[in-house]
Amino acid sequence: MMRRRERIGLAVFSLLLRFLPRRLREWSGAELRELFATRQREMVDSGGSVRLFAFWMKEAVGLLVSAVAARFDSSPPDLIHAPQRRDLPMDNLLQDLRYVMRRLRSAPGMVAVALLSLGLAIGANTVLFSAVSSLLLRPLPAANPDRLVNLFTTYPERGGGEWSVSLPNALDPERRTRAFENLAAYQSGASNVATDGEPQRAGHAFVQRDLFDVVGVAPAVGRGFTAEEDVPNAPDRVVVLGNAFWREQFNGEPALGKTLGINGRPHTIVGVMPEGFDFPFGNRTAIYTPLRIAESSWGRGSGGLAVIARLRDGVTVESARRDIDALAKALETEFPKTNAGMGYIVSPVSDVVYPFELRLGIYVLFGAVAVVLVIACFNLANLMMARGLARENETAIRLALGGARSRIVRLDVFEGLMLGIGGGVVGVLFAVFGGQWLRHLDNDAIPRVQEVDLNFGVFAFTSLVSIVAGLIVGAAPALQGTGDLGGLMRDAMRGTRNRARTHARRAVVIAEVALSVILLASAGLLIRSFTERLNIDPGFDADRVLSARVALDASYRDNRTRADVLAFHQQVLDRLRAAPGVEAASAGFALPLLGRTDSNDFIIEDRPITDPASKPNTGFSMVTTDYFTTMGIPLRQGRSFDRRDTWDQPGVVVVSRAMAEKFWPGENAIGKRLRSACVSSSTRRRAVRGHTGER
């Protein structure tokens, strides 16, 4: 079977074949491809990437040199007259190269401009091509990832959106439709992990034991989870490590059977995942543990789980959607209390990991950078045309002395090739630095961005771009034509210019300016919307505010009362406030604008609910005292939370100005009472005590 890089190599080679003159191509094309494929196979079987790359370069250069050389062959030689051996271009190749080097050395300014502009454009192209190839072209770490889908629930009547799934609703699609081969529910977050007593926060995935079967990736070392380990209160607590975490924490030494403290509880290591595997895809997950929940203990009306499923052979995403829509209807009639209005969403995992907007963004950026490269080429072509004009006298003299016209053209092509190759080298330097910068970006912004590396395909791509750029640049003066000798000499003497040549230059300049205008306009728009976004007042002041996540081990909470836990947090805050340089400190469940806050239906007292299905709903967060001061959120009216508002006191709530205006327009919201509508056990009345400037 042919591997991907072989197919790419053959495709590029086939493309380069087009450079051969028609006669050579028709005579040898199919065989050349065949020979290339055979030798490439030999390289792949025998050696590493470096040798294959060297082979590619050699074949590409050999082909292009042959293409150039063959262009200067006369058609089949006249056998009666002696062939003119001395005109064989191969003999003059080195001489020409030396001449071109000399010519370039005499114009260091032009060379510097050319190398910098080409290099910048090629460098940017390389970085983006790396990103595209490592992120979008490299498959997700799973067997047949295009058959994997994520399932979400959705409530179309309440504005849609993707919601997490309860365990019964997660398992029904496998049990009651024929669309899925298997599926697994999971949750992901972070946990306190202790190795050798040194705790750290690490990415943690809680997965049903089938998960590794669903994605089709087994642990590289050890085993996955057994059925006995994936039940509530299973006596054995086990963990499978992510490869990167295993390398960091155990230096790649055997870890099976060792113990790892997770949230204060000892877990036995039973497996290590293979390198490059991360689940959920695109997250940096250090540890995998069994989900350990029973269907009976998770109400159908709850949520909290993510679901990944593998489509059965021959089932398309569309037919899976039809099946699961029918299931949703059936569930609605069977469980009207919990499933009324609920539907499912089926999304291919690649769409979830790389949403359309992200892909589009990368491709648009790629397009823009490609345009920059085209502009750089035009720019150079223009420079070289100007040089060609300045050299007309020299050309005229060469022609007059019997110099071959083909050779003069060839010098120009060589000059372009040299600049192209030099630009490629400079570009790779830029790309190496650019790539390092890209890897420093946050993994949250672009999933798997750390995996972007300047791989070997990218180097091949750069080489190709620089060679093509060189050919374009080199061909420009040649296209301009060396003209007929008489005309050239007349022009040279009179100082006039050939009309056709002037037109060619004008066309280049026009194209260049047009492309630049497009780029400038779009860049301007982008900068404008960016500054507008920066100027939006978010309602809080993030200046000088630091945030940290605090999570108590489950074992700490086990033996303590709620009051103890509250006291712990109070103590943390008190000590923070006492620290020098700290103005204010507060704790809460979520930071504004970051991630999803919890949301909750609520009921306003003294206001009857007419339609039970459309209760008012809003996002909410629980915070400690001083939250508004710490976050710099201005209080418009009423009071903020203080030490009176302990958990055994009547509930109080601060609402945003937007909420006050929506639900109590023209009224004073202070003192109004509302009630949570969802969590019946802890339903407490809350009195509105203040409202803020937050939108």
Partner 1 sequence: MPRRNVDEQLPMADLPLHILLALATGEKHGWAIVKQIREHTSGRTDPSSGSLYLAMLRMKDRGLIDEVNAPRDETDARRRYYRMTAYGRRVLQAELHRLDELVALGRRHGVLDARGA
Q: Give the binding site for partner 1 (CB under 8 A).
A: 20, 23-24, 27-28, 30-32, 34-36, 38-39, 58-59, 61-67, 69-70, 73, 76-77, 79-80, 82-83, 85, 90
Residue of 464, 462, 454, 451 lying closest to 139 (CA atoms): 451
Given the complex with partner 1, which of 34 and 228 has the nearer CB atom?
34
Q: At what angle do helices 356-390 and 108-131 cross, to 10 degrees?
A: 160
Collect all residues with Cβ–Cβ distance below 8 Å to 17 and sequence separation of at least 6.
25, 29, 32, 33, 63
Smallest distance from the beta carbon of 406 to partner 1, in angstroms?
16
Cβ nearer to partner 1, comparing 31 with 357 = 31
- Distance of closest approach, residue 94 Cβ to partner 1, in angstroms: 13
| Alpha-helical regions (H) of 302-404 | 317-334, 336-339, 349-353, 356-390, 392-400
Bond from prior residue into 280 cis (ω within 30 degrees of 0): yes
Structure-token match 């290590």, residue found: 272
For 251, the 3-state DSSP assignment is coil
Tell how far CA 467 is from the center of its chain.
28
Question: Tokens 């003999």 sit at which residue?
Answer: 91
Q: How far is the CB of 32 from partner 1 (least distance, A)?
A: 5
Q: With contact defined as beta carbons under 8 Å apart, do 393 and 491 qualify?
A: no
In the complex with partner 1, which residue's Cβ is closer, 93 or 670?
Answer: 93
Show Cβ contacts of residue 567 under 8 Å, excluding neighbours closer than 6 positions: none
The DSSP bridge partners found for residue 311 are 180
Q: Toward partner 1, which CB reaches closer, 54 or 510?
A: 54
C-alpha angle with apex 412: 409 to 416, nearest 5 degrees?
140
Give the nearer residue to partner 1 in terms of CB position, either 85 or 105.
85
Whole-angstrom distance, CA of residue 609 vs CA of residue 616? 9
Q: How far is the CB of 421 from partner 1 (least distance, A)?
A: 17
Cα gap 395→358, rounded to integer Å: 52
Neighbours of 365 (CB within 10 A): 15
Residue 21 CB, nearest approach to partner 1 (Å): 10
CA dist., res. 60 & res. 296, Å (int)? 65
The single-letter code of the amino acid at 229 is E
Calpha distance 56→337 (Å, rounded): 65
Question: Which CB, 14 or 338, lies closer to partner 1?
Answer: 14
Name residues whose C-beta falls within 8 Å of residue 526's C-beta, 6 or more positions apart in sequence: none
Residue bearing tokens 């060839």: 410
Smallest gap from Cβ 425 to partner 1, in A, equals 21
With respect to partner 1, which residue has the nearer C-beta, 32 or 121?
32
Range list of H helices, 166-282: 167-176, 211-215, 243-250
Please state the closest distance from residue 24 (CB atom) to partner 1, in A. Answer: 6
Quick one: 46 or 531, whose CB is closer to partner 1?
Answer: 46
Question: Mind spelling out the 3-state secondary structure of 493-536?
Answer: HHCCCCHHHHHHHHHHHHHHHHHHHHHHHHHHHHHHHHHHHHHC
453 is written with which tokens?
Answer: 């590396």
Cβ of residue 279: shortest distance to partner 1, in angstroms? 44
d(CA 365, CA 369) in angstroms, rounded, equals 6
- In whole angstroms, the minimum distance from the beta carbon of 47 to partner 1 comes to 13
Q: Which is nearer to partner 1, 40 or 150 (CB)?
A: 40
Q: How far is the CB of 41 from partner 1 (least distance, A)?
A: 10
> Using CA atoms, how far apart are residues 257 and 312, in angstroms rounded to an integer?
36
Contacts of 155 (CB under 8 A, 6+ apart): 161, 163, 341, 342, 343
Please report how close the Cβ of residue 468 comes to partner 1 at its closest, in angstroms. 17
Q: Which is nearer to partner 1, 77 or 189 (CB)?
A: 77
Q: Are 147 and 287 in contact (CB under 8 A)?
A: no
Q: Are 555 and 194 in contact (CB under 8 A)?
A: no
Least distance (Å) between residue 401 CB and partner 1 = 26
Nearer to partner 1, 63 or 136 (CB): 63
**Residue whose CB is less far from partner 1, 36 or 246:** 36
Residue 206, strand partner residues: 187, 289
Q: What's the token pair of residue 281?
A: 């895809």
The whole-angstrom separation of Cα 135 and Cα 445 is 13
Least gap, CB of 254 to partner 1 (angstroms): 42
3-state secondary structure of 445: coil
| Closer residue to partner 1 (CB): 61 or 220 | 61
| Shortest reach from residue 34's CB to partner 1, in Å | 6
The closest of 364, 689, 388, 416 to 522, measured between CA atoms, is: 364
Q: Report in angstroms how near the CB of residue 20 gets to partner 1 at its nearest.
A: 8
CB of residue 55 vs partner 1: minimum separation in angstroms?
9
Structure tokens at 383: 């420079």
Q: What amino acid occupies position 131?
A: A
Q: How far is the CB of 460 from partner 1 (least distance, A)?
A: 16
> What is the β-pairing status of strands 265-272 and 238-241?
parallel
Task: Rank residues 65 and 464 by Cβ distance to partner 1 and give the closer one.
Answer: 65
Report how far apart, in Å, the C-alpha atoms of 116 and of each of 108, 316, 566 are: 12, 49, 61
Of 178, 131, 174, give the one whose Cα is nearest residue 151: 174
Nearer to partner 1, 58 or 528 (CB): 58
